[in-house]
Structure 1
């Protein structure tokens, strides 16, 4: 398997700029007005070598598991496959295992996330930075990059310790 290491981020803006924060708020307002609940998917893509694939968005701080929203008419697995392709250039080769369903009250009182554990996959190409994804790569589980979000750390601890999913993201 090809291993990718992201840049160290030197020279990049640290933190979360005002226009990006405003954009996230506008998106959440749009979803609140158009959907009764929001439902998303995330993937813990794990290698046999003990690595996890993480992304760093351009519009929110921190390293996270890849994923995104389930669109109207789309199943959770279809959304997961689409998001992995878009954000990670990864294709599923077997069905993933559902680890848990979470309430994500930090985003809104209406947000829910399904977390899947992906162990059978193919890397289609190296993910290049784009308008959405600043950096992406595989990291050893015992040496995660600085800035991994607390929720991502909690989910990885649940999975690696074989603990049941918590109720909240």
Structure 2
């Protein structure tokens, strides 16, 4: 583990500890980005749950538009440019780590020929995966949201972890 990864890991651990103690409301976004080959963009983090693929995304401030934050996070984490605006898939709450994390999930299209490149800081890997052949080590919440979109299911808006 290099110094940068160790710093991200420490910062993430401290954030989770703070969440358990203070139980704040926090706000985040996730993005389901599809390409023309029926593939979805997934990432693996450097600092937490490193063995799991997840949807790209991150936190946002209350004054920030969550859709714009989701688009920004996709570009920052993977370098993938979007073909247009994102559409809201649903809003969920994750209370697994003490905080009430309000997560907006968006769906969008990648620009033609977009190739993901991990940022090398937060993201260890960014890659496309076929919608009908998702990796076995995909996080449960990410899998549920992708399957909802793939199968045209309505969102329940229930807890992100259910």
Q: TM-score range by the shorter chain?
A: 0.7 to 0.9
Q: What secondary structure, in the 3-state scheme, does the structure 2 residue paired with 1:154 have?
A: helix
Deviation at 1:155, TM superposition (A): 0.8
Q: Match for residue 50 of structure 1?
A: 38
Q: Give runs of aligned pairs for residues 150-169 of structure 1, distance below 5 A.
A: 150-166=140-156, 167-169=158-160
Residue segments in structure 1 that go unaligned for 5+ positions in a row: 1-12
- Give the aligned length: 154
For the Cα contact (< 8 Å) 2:80–2:110, is it kept in 1?
A: no
Deviation at 1:105, TM superposition (A): 1.6
1:30-87 per-residue CA deviation (whole Å, 9 max, x = no partner) reads 5678994101001000122110000000112210000000135321122112101111
Q: Match for residue 26 of structure 2?
A: 38
Residue 141, structure 1, aligned to residue 156, structure 2: no
Between the aligned partners of 1:108 and 1:45, the Cα distance in structure 2 is: 28
RMSD: 2.9
Return the TM-score normalized by structure 2: 0.80
Between the aligned partners of 2:63 and 2:114, the Cα distance in structure 1 is: 26
> Could you say if the C-alpha distance between residues 123 and 72 of structure 1 is closer, same or farther in structure 2, counting changes exceeding 3 Å?
farther
Between the aligned partners of 2:19 and 2:59, the Cα distance in structure 1 is: 10
Deviation at 1:126, TM superposition (A): 4.1
> Could you say if the C-alpha distance between residues 138 and 114 of structure 1 is closer, same or farther in structure 2, counting changes exceeding 3 Å?
same
Q: Give runs of aligned pairs for residues 72-83 of structure 1, distance below 5 A.
A: 72-83=62-73
Q: Give runs of aligned pairs for residues 3-82 of structure 1, distance below 5 A.
A: 23-30=11-18, 36-61=24-49, 62-82=52-72
Between the aligned partners of 1:165 and 1:109, the Cα distance in structure 2 is: 22
Residue segments in structure 2 that go unaligned for 5+ positions in a row: none
